[in-house]
């Protein structure tokens, strides 16, 4: 679990790169590089206020994967204190 001050979603990752998605820590935030198709799905999930999971890593990496989970919560005060 990584806490971040900001998140950047970059929809320019090419499908030919061999990655499902890539995540990296940038200063005190998180940058997630995703394909154009995943960006369209993410935008729709945000509009619909639905949870969304991005699987990061190489396409052929097997079970070794990282995930970026975007979760909507009911009570913001309990999760964002401090």
CA of residue 38 relative to chain centroid, distance: 10
16 Cβ contact partners less than 8 Å away, ≥ 6 residues apart: none
Residue 19 has which token pair? 């990655």
Q: What is the pTM of this model?
A: 0.79
Ordered by where they begin, the domains of the chain are 6-70 (3.30.1360.220)
Per-residue pLDDT of the chain (82 residues; tens, 9 = 90+): 667 789 999 999 998 999 999 999 888 899 999 999 999 999 999 999 999 999 999 988 777 678 999 998 887 666 555 5
**Are the beta carbons of 33 and 25 closer than 8 angstroms?**
no
């Amino acid at each position: 679990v990584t806490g971040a001050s900001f998140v950047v979603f970059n929809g320019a990752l090419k499908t030919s790169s061999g990655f499902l998605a890539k995540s990296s820590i940038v200063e005190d935030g998180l940058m997630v590089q995703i394909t154009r198709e995943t960006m369209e799905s993410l935008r729709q999930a945000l509009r619909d206020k639905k949870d969304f999971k991005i699987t990061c890593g190489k396409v052929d990496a097997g079970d070794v994967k990282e995930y970026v989970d975007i979760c909507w919560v009911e009570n913001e005060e309990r999760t964002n204190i401090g």
